[in-house]
Structure 1
Amino acid sequence: MTIYQSLLGEDFHKLHPKLQERYALPVDVPFFATGTMTKIETGARWLNPLLTFATHWKFLFPENGQDVPFTIQNTCKLLSNGEAEVYWERTFYFKKGTRRFNAFMTIDAKRKVVKDYLGEPSLLYSDLKFDVTNEGRLLIRSGFQRVVLGKIELPIPRLLEGSVIVEEGYDAVRELFTIHVYIHNPIVGRVMAYAGEFKEHIC
């Protein structure tokens, strides 16, 4: 059973059937898709040095763009302790270069959250709360966050957190997945936002 099935329980079956397939993720059977981000927007220009710094960890990036090609791959594997982990690889192909946004996800069954380690090597940790909308879309919201410094993890004050909202759906008419992501900070406003669509490719 996938970590997302375990987390959502019966609500997993309320997802659109295509999203259920997407998030089934059998061990060592990757989900791979290609698509286009219709719009990618970052925040204020003075954030660019921070966003550029994050690129060294395959995390955030400073570029903006429209109709940006991208790929996404999710792979579930078993760790040495028997825990299932999903490796997320998101690659954005800008005209002037390629950017990556990677993450490693496991679940905390007791707290009913996904443990999301962002970047490679991980630079930021965030709790993620998963819900299903009435329309069968997947809604993800961030929670408690920490900065990761090797084996040390330091809590981030709430005013400095990057609050994340993600909504993923499936357009049955056009037969493709849709994605909307918004990262916001209460002080600086928008950190990054992107919206796009993608279609699975069977390897």
Structure 2
Amino acid sequence: MTGSVYQRVLGPRFAELDPSLAAYFSLPPAGHRGHGSGVYAVAGSRLRWARPLWAFLAWRQVLFPELGRGVPFTVVNTPTADGRLTAVRSFAFPGHERVMADAMSVVDGRLHDRLGRRGGLEVELLLDVVDGGLHMTSLRQWLHLGAVRVRIPSVVHVLLAETALAPGASAVPDARQRVDVRMTAPLLGEVFRYTGDFVYRQL
């Protein structure tokens, strides 16, 4: 595969990304992985009544029931031989750790994300470059039940915004960036969010 999943989907528009974000969204050199570490200002859900659902999703490594502030986290991005990009995000809550796992691939020119340790939830994402940052918006969604792929209503809307903290700066090893992921649902508003700053390196 030539280029990262983001490069293959964005095509020429990849050059519109801020230089300090390009390393994050580019394909790491062969044999290398991307490592990010930082602190989330907030991570989790304010909906206490939904905690049984979040707990089940935590077991599947999709979401989690905790709500915290100042949560240290790490992310490890690993390209695979078949052109996918796997990511493992670890959230260090007091006394325990939560993990979110996913794998991104390009399907018919669109970015698709398989969420969880078994990839049971698939989300199609629309990419856009806005003022040098990358925005991802969720579109269609599917459940994978064994070998069966089932289209489901998009009851939750996801918006991810990745921005540079020093726009226009060169891509340097300690350049910081900000991620803001919001999940919303009709009538409920925001149901889950994590946002914070981190440093990313290819090792």
* TM-score, with length taken from structure 1: 0.90
1:116 aligns with 2:123: no
Supply the AA of the counterpart residue of 1:172: A
Q: What is the aligned partner in structure 1 of residue 199 from structure 2?
A: 199
**How high is the TM-score relative to the length of structure 2?**
0.90
CA distance in 2 between partners of 1:119 and 1:41 (Å): 16
- Within-5 A mapping of 1:70-89: 70-79=73-82, 84-89=83-88
Q: Distance in 1 between matches of 2:202 and 2:32?
A: 10
Question: Unaligned regions of 5+ residues in structure 1, if any?
Answer: none
In 2, Cα distance between equivalents of 1:38 and 1:127: 27
Partner of 1:136: 132
**Deviation readout 1:169-201 (Å, 9 max, x if unpaired):** 111289301000001111433221111000024
Q: Which residue of 1 aligns with 2:171?
A: none
* 1:35 is aligned to 2:61: no
- Is 2:128 aligned against 1:147? no
Which structure 2 residues correspond to residues 1-203 of structure 1 after superposition, within 5 A? 1-26=3-28, 27-79=30-82, 84-108=83-107, 110=108, 112-133=109-130, 135-158=131-154, 161-172=155-166, 175-203=175-203
Which blocks of at least 5 consecutive residues in structure 2 are unaligned?
Answer: 168-173
CA offsets, 1:64-104, max 9 Å, x none?
A: 0111000011111112xxxx000011110000311011101
- Whether the 8 Å CA contact 1:25–1:31 is kept in 2: the answer is no
Structure 1 contact 39–65 (Cα < 8 Å) conserved: yes
When the two chains are superposed, the root-mean-square deviation of aligned CA atoms in Å is: 1.6
**Could you tell me whether the CA contact under 8 Å between 1:28 and 1:77 is conserved in 2?**
no
User: Structure 1 residue runs of 4+, over 4 Å off?
Assistant: none
**Identity over aligned pairs, percent:** 29
